[in-house]
Chain A
Amino acid sequence: MRKTIVLAAVAALVSSSAAIAADKTLTIYTYESFTADWGPGPAVKKAFEQTCGCTVNYVSVEDGVALLNRLKLEGKDNKADIVLGLDTGLVADAKATGLFAPSGVSASAVSVPGGFSDDTFLPYDYGHFAVVYDTEKMKTPPKSLDELVNGNPDEKIAIEDPRTSTPGLGLLLWMKSVYGDKAPEAWAKLSKRVLTVTPGWSEAYGLFTKGEVPMVLSYTTSPAYHEMEEKTSRYQAASFSEGHYVQVEVAAATNTSHDPALAKSFLEFMVSPAFQDIIPTTNWMFPAAKTSQPLPDAFNKLVAPAKTFLMTPDEVARNRKAWVDEWVAAMGAK
C-alpha cells in the first residue's frame, strides 16, 4: 500500500512535469488496505485519471475508524475532496462533524442488501460478516447463530473486540439483531466457545490460518481469496439460517473540497462499472453497483445470506456504548 503512495507521489511529480493537464488534483482520504498495491487503489487511480484529466492523490490511514478520527482532528482544515472507506456504522458520527456535502449523485445505480440509502454517503461495496471455518478441522460447521452459541465449547472461535475493531462491532450488532434483549445471555453462552478476543481482524485471522482455532469471525468473501489466490477450498464460510449482518462501505465528498465538480464526477465514476469491476478481487467485497462483467466464479460459490441485517446509523450511534458495556459484562469481566 505504501508503494502505491510512493508511486502516486512519483507519478504526481512526473505528470506535473509532463504536458498532461494535471493541474487538477483530487485528494482521497481512505484506509490502507484500499491503497495497498494489492488493493483497489492503484487500478482505481489509473482508471479515473484516464477520464478526468486530473491527478488522484491518496492519503491513507489505518482503517475506517481512524479515517473518521483524522477528519475530526483536522476539522475544516482537512485536505480531502473525497472520503472513502467509512462504513454505515460510522455514518451518523461522520454526519455530525458537518464536514460532508450532499453527493448530488443519484443512488439508483446502487443496490446493496439492507437497503442503505443516503443523500450524502454513497455505497461502493459491501460484505456480509460470517463465521469462516477450517474444513480440515470441522466436519459439521454451525448452521445458525444459535448453533454457534449453543455448540460444543471445545470447538473454538476467535472473535474481534468491539472496542477496537469494526468486525468485532459487526458481530455485536449481529447478535443484537438476532437476540435483541436476550443478547447478554447468548454472549455468556458463546463466551465458552470463544478462544480469545483479539484487538483486530488481522490477529484473529492469523490465529485461524495458523491452525490455532477452527473458526473465526470474518466475511462471506474470505473463501474467495483463498480459492483465487491460494487455489484452496479449505476455508469456507458458514451460512447461518437467521441471516447475516452486512457491512456497507461508503464514500462522500467533503464540503471543503476545492473542486466539488471533480469530487462529484468521482462519485459518479465510483458507482459505474469501471470502478465496480475492480472491487471484487482487490478489496474482496461485493460490488455495490453494476459491473461490466459477471463476478468471478469463486464469488458465485460463496454463501448467499437468505436475510440481511443492517441497523440504521442512528440506532448504532445511539446504542453502541451501552451495548459494548453490556458485552463486556456478559463476556465475564469481573
Chain B
Amino acid sequence: MAQAGGGLALAFIAGFIALALAPLLRFGGEFSIDRQVLSTLRFTLYQASLSTLISLVFGAALALSLARRPNLPGRIWIIRLMAAPMGLPALAGAFGVLAVWGRQGWVNDILGASGTDLQFNVYGLSGILIAHSFFNIPLAARLFYASLERLPSQYWLMAAHLGLGRVSLLRFVEWPALRRALPGAGGLVFMLCATSFTLVLTLGGGPAATTLEVAIYQALKFDFEPVRAVFLVGLQMLLAGAVLAFLKLFGAAEEEKNESGLLRRFDGQSALARTWDFLVIAGLIAFCGAPFAAIATSGLVASYPHLVTDPLFWRALATSFMLGPIAAVTAVILAYGLAIAHYGSASRVWKGALEAAGSLILLTPPVVLATGWFLWLKGGSGYGPYVLVALINALMSLPFAFHVLQPAIRTHFERTGRLSESLGIKGFERLRIVDFAILKRPLTTAFFFALSLSLGDLGAVALFGGDNLVTLPWLIYARLGSYRTSDAAALTLLLTLICMIFAVLGTRDSGTREGSIR
C-alpha cells in the first residue's frame, strides 16, 4: 500500500518531467560537449561544491550551538526565521546581499570609516559564495538542527554521566546525527547552488561565472534550440546524480529507537563554550539578518498608498494565495507518499529512486517545464496556466517538503511501528490516531515551507504568456523592468514579511515543547 503510493508519486513526477521534455525534442537543434559546455560544467561543479561546503559547515556549527543552548532567549524565533530566506526571490536576495557587501554596501562603509584603503569586492566567486551562503546556511542549519533534536534525551544524560569531553561528544553523539542529515541537506543545497541563475550572473561579475542553468536558458530562450536545452538538462541531472550518490557515502544508518524526551543539555557550561556559541549564533544571525535589514530599509522609504490601492497588487496577492496552498498541499502529499514508501522499503535501489524523485526535479528548470507543457496546452487559455503554475510550484517545493518529512516519518515509524502493529491499528485508523497526531507538526512545517517557496515563484509559465496570471514576484520584476525601483523595493519588503509570517506559522506550536521543531 505504502509502496504503491510511493510508486504513484514517483510515476507522477517522472511523467510530468518526461511529458514536458518530450515535445521539445521535435524541434531542431544540435548539441555536443564543446569547450564552452565543459568550462560551464566545471564552473558549475566548482562553485556549487564550495557553496555547499560553506553552507554545510556553518549550518552545522549554527545547529550545534543552537542545540546546546535550549534556554537561549529568543531561540525559537531564530529557528523559525531560518525558513525566511526561502521565499525570497533570488534577485531580491541579490540586492539585499549587495546592500551589505556591495561597493556602496555597509561593509565597505565600515571599512571606509575605519580609515583603511581596503575595499571589499563582492563581484566574482566571493559574491556567489556569500549569496549562496545567505540562502543556504539557514536551510542547512534547519535540517541539521532537526536531526540533532531527534536524538533521544538519554544520550545527553549518558554523555554527562560518562563525562564525555567536547571532542568525544561530537564524535559519538553529534556527528552521527549530523551525518544522518548530511546526504539530504548536502544534496539539496548542492542542487540549489548548481542551478542558481540570477545570483550567479548578477554577482559573478562576468561570463566566466556561468552555470549550466544559464546555458539551458540561453539554449531554450535566446537560441531556441530546445533539443540542446533537453540535452543540457540531462547533463545537469547526471552531474547532480553523481554528487547525490557521492554524498550518500557519508550518510549513516538510523539507529535510535528510543522515546524522545525533553531536550536538556548538561554539557557546554564552560565560559569558552558559551563564548563560542554566542559568537557562532550572533555572527550567523548578523550574516543572514543583515540583507533582510537592508531589504527593510530600502522597502520602508518607498511609498505605499499607491501600491496598496493598485488593483494589480491585490490581483497578484489573490493569485499567490490561491495557487500557493494548492501547490503546498500537492507537494506535501507527494512528499508524504515518497517518504512512507522510502521508509517501508528494503531495496536500496528503490529507496534511491524515491529520494531522487524527491529532489532531481530541481534540476529541470521551470522554464523548460513551462515550455514543454505550453506545447501540450496549446497556448494555454482558461485554467490551464494556473494548474500548470501550481503543479510546477508543487514540484519545485517537493524536495524541501520531502527533506522535512522524510526524517520525521522515519523516526516516527521506528518509534511507533511495532506498537501499532501489536495493537492492530492499521490503515486510516492508524493515520488518524497515531500518525497524524505526531506528524501534524512536520506536515505543517512542510506545508508552510512549500507555501513560502511557491509564493516566491516567478510563475515561469507566464514567460510564454500566462495572460492574466500575475504573482507577487512577477509584479516586482515588472516594476523593476520599467524604472520603478522603489515600488519594487516596497513589494519585496511585503513579500518578505509574508514569507516570514509563513515561516513562523510553520513552527507555530513548537513553543509548547521547548522549541522542538521536529
Q: Which residues of A are interface residues toward B (Cβ below 8 A)?
A: 1-3, 5-6, 9, 29, 32-33, 36-39, 59-62, 65-66, 68-70, 72-74, 77-79, 93, 156, 161, 163-164, 191, 194-203, 205-207, 209-213, 222, 225-226, 229, 284, 321, 325, 327-328, 331-334
- State which of A1, A9, A197, A210 has its C-beta within 8 Å of the C-beta of B207: A197
Q: Does A201 lie within 8 Å of B481, measured CB to CB?
A: yes
* Smallest CB gap from A156: residue in B: B103
**Nearest 5 interchain pairs by C-beta:** A2-B470, A3-B312, A202-B480, A333-B208, A202-B481
Min CB gap B62→A, angstroms:
29
- Option from B202, B315, B463 in Cβ contact (under 8 Å) with A6: B315
B378 lies within 8 A of A333 (CB): no
A195 engages B205 (CB within 8 Å): yes
11 pairs from A and B in contact (CB 8 Å cutoff): A1-B478, A33-B481, A39-B482, A61-B462, A68-B224, A74-B379, A93-B224, A196-B201, A196-B204, A197-B204, A202-B91
The reply to whether the CB of B217 lies closer than 8 angstroms to some CB of chain A is yes
Of B204, B206, B375, which is within 8 A of A73 by CB? B375
Nearest A residue to B127, CB-CB: A196
Report the separation of the CA atoms of residues A202 and B103 in the bound assembly, to the nearest whole angstrom: 19
User: A77 vs B380: C-alpha distance in the bound complex, in angstroms?
Assistant: 12
CB contact under 8 A between A66 and B103, given known A202-B481, A333-B210:
no
Complex CA–CA separation, A199 to B210 (angstroms): 11
Partner of B312, one of A37, A93, A200: A37
Residue numbers in B under 8 Å from A38 (CB-CB): 482
Q: A48–B344 Cα gap in the complex (Å)?
A: 65
Instruction: Report whether B39 and A334 are in contact in the complex, using a CB–CB cutoff of 8 Å.
Output: yes
Contact in complex: A332, B208 (CB < 8 Å): yes
Bound-state Cα–Cα, A226 to B485, Å:
12
- Tell whether A197 pairs with B206 under 8 Å between CB atoms, given A77-B379, A229-B483: yes
Q: From residue 287 to 340 of chain B, which have CB atoms closer than 8 A to chain A?
A: 298, 310-312, 315-316
Chain B at the A interface: SS class: helix
B175 to chain A, nearest CB (A): 37
Quick check: is B354 within 8 A (CB to CB) of the other chain? no
B454-500 contacts to A, CB under 8 A, are: 462-465, 467-470, 474-475, 477-478, 480-483, 485, 488
**Cβ of B205 and Cβ of A197 under 8 Å apart?**
yes
Q: A196-B203, A212-B104 are in contact. Are A2 and B210 (CB under 8 A)?
A: no
Residues on the B chain within 8 Å of A212, using CB: 98, 102-104
Max count, chain A CB within 10 A of own CB: residue among B99, B315, B478: B478
Chain B residues near A73: list those with CB within 8 A: 371, 374-375, 464
Distance of A207 from chain B, by nearest CB (Å):
7
Nearest Cβ on chain B to A117's Cβ, whole angstroms: 26
* Nearest CB of chain A from residue B468's CB, rounded to whole Å: 5
**Chain B residue at minimal CB-CB distance from A163:** B218
Q: A195-B205, A328-B36, A334-B208 are in contact. Are A62 and B463 (CB under 8 A)?
A: yes
| Interface of B toward A, CB cutoff 8 Å | 27, 36, 39, 91, 94-95, 98-99, 102-104, 123, 197-198, 201-208, 210, 214, 217-218, 220-224, 298, 310-312, 315-316, 371, 374-375, 378-379, 462-465, 467-470, 474-475, 477-478, 480-483, 485, 488
Q: In the complex, which of the residues A32, A78, A191, A211 has the most CB atoms of chain B within 10 Å of its own CB atom?
A: A32
The answer to whether B464 touches A61 (Cβ under 8 A) is yes
CA distance A6 to B477 in the complex (A): 19
Query: Contacts A61-B463, A196-B202 given: A202-B123 contact, CB under 8 Å?
Result: no
The closest CB in chain A to the CB of B371 belongs to: A73
Which B residue's beta carbon lies closest to that of A137? B104
The answer to whether B123 touches A196, judged by C-beta atoms less than 8 angstroms apart, is: yes
Check B208–A206 contact: CB distance below 8 A.
no
Tell me if B206 and A61 are in contact (CB < 8 A). Answer: no
CB <8 Å contact, A163 and B222: yes
- Once the chains are docked, how many angstroms separate the CA of A206 from the CA of B482? 10
The reply to whether B103 and A199 contact each other, CB–CB distance below 8 Å, is no
B468 touches A199 (CB 8 A): no
A327 to B210, CA, bound (A): 13
Give the complex CA separation of A325 and B379 in angstroms: 33
Query: Smallest distance from the beta carbon of A99 to chain B beta carbons, Å?
Result: 14
**CA–CA, A73 and B461, complex, Å:** 13
Whether A203 contacts B198 by the Cβ 8 Å rule is yes
Report how far A201 CA is from B483 CA in the complex, Å.
10
Contact of B123 among A68, A195, A206, A328 (CB under 8 A): A195
* Chain A residues positioned under 8 Å from B220 (CB to CB): 69
Given contacts A77-B378, A206-B95, contact A327 B207 (CB under 8 A): yes
A72-B224, A333-B210 are contacts. A3–B315 as well, Cβ < 8 Å?
yes
Q: Which residues of A are found within 8 Å of B488, using beta-carbon distances?
A: 206
CB nearest neighbor in A for B486: A209
A207 touches B98 (CB 8 A): yes
In whole angstroms, what is the CA distance A200 to B214 when docked? 12
